[in-house]
Amino acid sequence: MSNRETDEHSGVETTGHEWDGIRELDNPLPRWWLYIFYGSIVIAVIYWVLMPSWPGINSYAKGVLGQSDRVDVARQLEALNQQRGAEGAMLRTASLETIEADPKLQAYALAVGQSVFGDNCATCHGVGGTGFKGYPNLRDDVWLWGGSLEEIQHTLQVGVRSDNPNTRQSQMPAFGRDQILQPAQVDDLTEFVVALSSRSANVAAIKRAAPVYVAQCSACHGPQGKGDIKQGAPDLTDAEWLYGAERADIRNQIWTGQGGVMPTWEGRLSPETIKALAVYIHANAGGQ
């Protein structure tokens, strides 16, 4: 129950509310505060009119100014494209070779490529592009699907074993797991593959494995084990091993036939971004 009375100490009316014996003086609000408060109300009403504010069932009140963050972002992106200027435009039209050979375009493509690589590729291939076990090294001169500018661009576009209909596709059979070969044959084949890369191996095992290699492996990896870039079949004679160089690693790969997936970047990155990325990867691989 409100019980207004005048405080005898100050002569000011109280609000009549009492909390634990403390009564509140009903002093007026400071004028400056009050004016700011009224001002805020006026500004709020103006804001309703000018800016999107009231939600509707299917839409919302757009406001007189038609302000929209989406439109703003689109405008900023357009401004960014304008700002990218000559180099940005050239990236669309120039050929990959031209981009790489021209100092200005190259510098621009390398800068774009570096940033895009860091965002999209470094997760698997590493910040330096040297890859990990199962993820190819992009810095050396060993390329499963070809290391020319065009091949790199194509790999970026369609991916490897990706969901792109034109994806690069190769499948190493799981010779052990799928029981295509006996475990002993897999052991022998392991020795054969070790020998291919000029390392010492069990001669008896190599002899036993030779016909198996011809029957099962040479179609893709070639009679000399040099691999085939067209099929994405790795060279077995060099020092590079995607899934490890040790005997156990090689045996495991023959047994399980692992194959990683590289996503398709068509549609996720713009064509000129893919071009810049191709130049970046190609340039940093020494330019094969």
Partner 1 sequence: MTVVIDRTKPTPPPPGEGSGPVSAAAKARAKGFTLGLYKPRTPIYPKLVHGQWRRIKWVLLILMLAIYYLTPWIRWERPGVLPDQAVLVDFAGGRFYFFGIQLWPQEVYFITGLLVISALGLFLVTAMFGRLWCGYACPQTVWTDLFIYVERAFEGDRNARMKLDASPWSFNKAWRKIGKHAVWLGIGFGTGGAWIFYFHDAPNLLADFWVGQAPATAYIFCALLTVTTYAFAGHMREQVCTYLCPWPRIQGAMLDQHSLQVTYLRDRGETRGPHKKGQPWEGRGDCIDCNACVVACPAGIDIRDGSQLECINCGLCIDACDEIMEKIDRPKGLIAYDTDAAVAAREAGRPPIYRLLRPRTAYYAVALSLVSALMIWGLTHRSALDVHVLRDRNPMFVRLHDGAIRDGYTLKIANRGFEARDVQVTFTGPPGAKLRTPGAKAAGDTLSVRVEANEVRAVRVFVTVPAAAIDAPNMPAAFAVRAGDEVKTVETNFLSGAANAP
What is the distance between the alpha carbons of residues 111 and 108, in angstroms, rounded to a whole number?
A: 5
By CB under 8 A, the residues from 6 to 35 that bind partner 1 are 7, 9-10, 12, 21-23, 25, 27
Work out how close the CB of 282 gets to partner 1 at its nearest, in angstroms, rounded to a whole number. 7
Would you state the structure tokens that stand for residue 74, as one six-digit string?
Answer: 């689109």
Of the pair 147, 176, the CB lying nearest partner 1 is at 147
**Interface pick for partner 1 out of 91, 94, 106, 112 (rule CB under 8 A):** 106
For the segment 172-201, give every residue that binds partner 1 (CB under 8 A): none
Per-residue binding string, partner 1, 61-100, x by CB under 8 A, is ------------------------------------x--x
Report the nearest approach of partner 1 to the CB of residue 76 (Å).
20
Q: Are 256 and 250 in contact (CB under 8 A)?
A: no
If the CB atoms of residues 34 and 77 are measured against partner 1, the closer one turns out to be 34
Site string for partner 1, 206-245 (x = CB under 8 A): -----------------------------x--xxx----x
Per-residue binding string, partner 1, 142-161, x by CB under 8 A, is x-------------------
CB 180 within 8 A of CB 173: yes
DSSP state, residue 25: E
With residue 282 as reference, give the H or E element that holds it: helix 271-284
DSSP letter for each residue of 206-257: HHHHHHHHHHHTHHHH-TTS--BGGGTBPPSSSS--TT-SSHHHHHHHHHH-
- Quote the least distance from Cβ 47 to partner 1, whole Å: 28
- Candidates 110, 136, 167, 111; CA nearest to 242 is 136
Q: Which of 26, 62, 102, 208 binds partner 1 (CB under 8 A)?
A: 102
Of 36, 71, 73, 107, the residue at the interface with partner 1 (CB under 8 A) is 107
CB of 284 to partner 1, least distance (A): 7
226: exposed, middle or buried (Cβ count in 10 Å: 0-12, 13-18, 19+) = middle
Q: Which residues contact 73 (CB under 8 A, 6 or more apart)?
A: none
- How many chain residues bind partner 1 (CB under 8 A)? 38
Instruction: Tell me which of 49, 101, 203, 219 binds partner 1, using CB under 8 A.
Output: 101
CA 272, chain centre distance (Å): 16
Binding mask 124-143 for partner 1 (x = CB under 8 A): --xxxxx------x-xxxx-
Complex with partner 1: residue 104 or 177, whichever CB lies closer: 104
**Which amino acid belongs to residue 123?**
T
By the rule CB under 8 A, 110 interacts with partner 1: yes
Which residues are paired to 22 by β-bridges? 19
Return all residues near 141 (Cβ < 8 A) that are at least 6 apart. 147, 285, 286, 288
d(CA 196, CA 206): 10
Q: Could you tell me which of 241, 196, 183, 186 has the C-alpha nearest to residue 222?
A: 196
Which residues in this chain contact partner 1 in the complex, by CB under 8 A? 7, 9-10, 12, 21-23, 25, 27, 97, 100-103, 106-107, 110, 126-130, 137, 139-142, 235, 238-240, 245, 279, 282-284, 286-287
